[in-house]
Chains A and B, each alone.
Chain A
Amino acid sequence: MKRNWLTRPALGAAFLAAIFAAGACSSSGTGTIKIGTLFAVTGGASNLGAPEQKTIEMLVAEINAQGGVDGRQIEVVYKDTQAKNENAISFAKQLIEEDKVLAILGPTTSGESMGVKDLCEQNKMLLISCAAAETITTPVSPHIFKTPQNDALAAMKIFEDMKGKGITKIGVLNANSGFGKGGKAQLEKYAPQYGITIAAAEEYNKDAKDLSDVVTKIKSAGVQAVVNWSIEPAQAIVIKNIRQLGMKQPIYQSHGFGNIKYVEAAGKEAAEGVIFPCGRLLAIDILPDSNPQKAVLRKYKSDYESKYNEEVSTFGGHAYDALMLLIQSIKNAGSTDPEKVRDALEQIKNFPGTGGIFNFSPTDHNGLTIDAFEMFTVHDGKFALYTK
């Protein structure tokens, strides 16, 4: 208790001093550039929010050590939302009204992003969200951007491949988690566009230990391929069950399969030939050197892993992209006038990030296309680029 009373005013004073030192200057040509973040560092989404904030801390330290952006240091005001909407909204208000930041990075989750969207738009505050839901940037609001790829792109990528193979009748399996249900919705939405019918769709308990029964049902529907959408160990179990029931059809998995541990859990025999779309962060070594993302990904991975001694994740990558895009737009605008930075961000083209190549436009504030995903397969227990 006592310690709190002592440190809080001290921190507050330091904070205020920082604000006074920099606050008035944020939109003029000198002083520090002030950015706010809304990450769920603790709480239910800490697996996502913690690497996001760590990534920003790492990058800002590096950039400031190299002299900052156009000779100006970056100053970040970090807010931990704990993945709660009410926190995100009140912190966003603070960042806008008190801290007067140039832009806000985050929030971490889709719910929070939707919660602060209108508030930021009303105050003409540039927001670069690190959450995936399509509704954050569709329809487009002038000041709202986001960096993660849409789920829909993964579904379309899978359908594109099926179309090439002449597959028209598929079975869909998904876990009863938010991720599984979201994926199923996208699959059902886009299947007709590719002339594909979903002959059987089954949702299973995400903690299921054996899925032979749902697989039997899919099998008796006589499908040409199976798509599974889950991030739990179930996605390793389902492959084994499909093969044990004598099904030889191709198995497609979601981008949640991009962790080699699932291949090991399924065994290399069962996982052989599984096809899935995934961002390139988890497959740096098998990318050709000509890929423009390779250098970015390799540097981010080695910097992050040597600094924090933990495996790099796509979530931290979303924060990486958000900050680097913002810095690029400040450089392009040649100013920290919020509207000029926003206009510059909207015009960014061919920007290699961790999530893909960003091409923003007034009608697209996500900037990623279906090419943000690469198709991978499993060969001999390892991930490999998938070629038809």
Chain B
Amino acid sequence: MTGIVTIFQYIISGLAQGSIYAVVAIGFNIIYNSTGIINFAQGEFVVLGAMVSITFSAIFPLWAAIAMGIAVASLYGALVEIVFVKYARAFSPLRAICLASIVFILVSASGLFSFLHPVLSILFGLAVALPFGAGGEFLLLRFQKEQNVLQLIIITIGVSILTRETMKHVWGKDVFALRYFTGTAITTISVGGVYISPQLLWVLGTVTLVVAGLYLFYKYTLVGKAMRAVSLDRKAAQLCGINARLLVTLSFILSAAIGALAGAVTSPQTSTDYKMGSSFAINGFTVAILGGLGNSFAAALAGLLLGVLESFTTAIVPSSYKEVVVIIIMLLILFFKPSGLFGKREERTLKEF
């Protein structure tokens, strides 16, 4: 390869890596924006979305399978929020039902009653889950206190472990991959000797659409504006008649949906296994911080930049030193600009994190 072609190939390679960071990082900002917490279960939302899409892609067209992946992950995001994050003062039937569903998922995944007829096993699962749901709700009511941001973050770490182990029981320890959206794994477009996988274009397209969509959503829709209001000052927003609790649930749903979409669109390239979530979360979180927390556009740009930076680092030093170089550069950036590459200092002083 001649020099200039090689340079472009490194840029494309960097974008391939960076687009994965970017698409995962965007999901972090939505929950952060409405609650101020970092959701460390975001990586599991990504894996869950990919896994469900892969499972359904065997029988349904690709788009339908991905839609199902997004639907299941959104539902799960709502469950998580209602059970673990929401704070209620009186007995909440909704939370009891959600708690029961989580227990039911756990019982089914563990295969406790799998020796029985499927219908019987579902009944037995329900028989276990319902009392647990009601009892758990009473316990939560009795002991749960309104949590601060730090406690909620720890809870998301717990949720991530719970989700990961459950997925291990459902899908096993093997690797899976969604099929390619265009062509196969070896389909590649050559532009003057620079090779590009069509899947990279799909990922980049998704990043662009999601960023643009979120921008319009936050700027022009009533719900989006309400979410921004809640993130700026929850009490004031509630005084204005905004249902803050509902919006927080909604932000978990949106965040899980974007996570699931990220999982589905990257799965053909990255493959998916049950324990991938934590490394997705770490990469995505790093990129979200680097860009400036709360800003989806910044997260996407920072992700792509980081990918290209890594790629050129590999070109110069052995790739085993890549992470050292990249971490030093990131530390320098955050040292001189603690609010992230694109974050505003004034904004940062208003937030807890």
Chain A residues with CB under 8 Å of chain B are 176, 202-205, 207, 209-210, 212-217, 219-220, 233, 236-237, 239-240, 243-246, 259, 261-262, 264-267, 269-270
Contacts and interface: CB of A to CB of B under 8 A. Distances in A.
A210 B320 contact: no
A213 B311 contact: yes
Given A237-B270, A243-B185, A246-B190, A213 B20 contact: no
B185 A269 contact: yes
B175 A236 contact: yes
B319 A261 contact: no
Main secondary structure of the interface of B (DSSP, over half): helix
A245 B318 contact: no
Contacts of B270: 209-210, 233, 237
B14 interface: yes
A331 to B, nearest CB: 39
Contacts of A259: 174
A215 to B, nearest CB: 7
A202 B319 contact: yes
Nearest to B176: A265
A239 B17 CA distance: 15
Contacts of A266: 177, 185, 271
Contacts of A233: 175, 270-271, 273, 276
Contacts of A205: 322-323
A207 B283 CA distance: 11
B6 A216 contact: yes
B311 A216 contact: yes
Interface in B297-344: 310-311, 314-315, 318-320, 322-323
A300 B131 CA distance: 46
A243 B13 contact: no
Contacts of A216: 6, 9-10, 13, 311, 314-315
Contacts, number: 121
A213 B10 contact: yes
Interface in B182-205: 184-188, 190, 195, 197
Given A216-B311, A261-B175, A267-B177, 20 more contacts: A203-B318, A209-B20, A209-B266, A209-B269, A210-B13, A210-B17, A212-B13, A212-B311, A213-B319, A214-B319, A215-B13, A217-B319, A220-B6, A236-B177, A240-B269, A244-B186, A244-B197, A265-B176, A265-B177, A267-B180
A18 to B, nearest CB: 34
A245 B10 CA distance: 11
Nearest to A176: B320
Contact of A264 (B177, B186, B276, B318): B177
Contacts of B185: 239-240, 243-244, 266-267, 269-270
Contacts of B174: 259, 261
B279 interface: yes
Nearest to A267: B185
Contact of B9 (A239, A245, A261): A245
A249 B269 CA distance: 20
A271 B3 CA distance: 30
A188 to B, nearest CB: 14
Contacts of B348: none
A330 B180 CA distance: 57
12 contacts: A209-B266, A210-B20, A210-B269, A213-B319, A233-B276, A237-B270, A240-B269, A261-B175, A265-B177, A267-B177, A267-B186, A269-B186
B79 interface: no
Contact of B195 (A214, A236, A239, A244): A244
Nearest to A203: B320
Given A210-B17, A213-B14, A240-B269, A267 B175 contact: no
Contacts of B197: 240, 244
A267 B318 contact: no
Contacts of A202: 314, 318-320
A237 B269 contact: yes
Interface string B260-300: 00000010011101001001100100000000000000000
Contacts of A213: 10, 13-14, 17, 310-311, 314-315, 319, 322
Nearest to B315: A217
Nearest to A245: B195
A259 B16 CA distance: 27
B184 A267 contact: yes
A264 B319 contact: no
Contact of B16 (A210, A236, A270): A210
B240 interface: no
Contacts of B1: 219-220
B320 A262 contact: no
Contact of B319 (A203, A219, A269): A203
A264 B320 contact: no
A124 to B, nearest CB: 41
B17 A209 contact: yes
Nearest to B275: A207
Contacts of B12: 212
Nearest to A269: B184
B210 to A, nearest CB: 18
A216 B14 CA distance: 10
Contacts of A210: 13, 16-17, 20, 269-270
B271 A237 contact: yes
Nearest to B174: A261
A236 B185 CA distance: 11
B228 interface: no
B179 interface: yes
A209 B185 CA distance: 15
Nearest 5 interchain pairs by C-beta: A212-B13, A270-B185, A267-B185, A203-B320, A269-B184
A334 to B, nearest CB: 45
Contact of A262 (B175, B276, B279, B315): B175
Contact of B279 (A207, A261, A265): A207
Contact of B188 (A217, A220, A245): A245
A176 to B, nearest CB: 6
A384 B310 CA distance: 37
A210 B9 CA distance: 14
Contact of B179 (A176, A217, A237, A267): A267
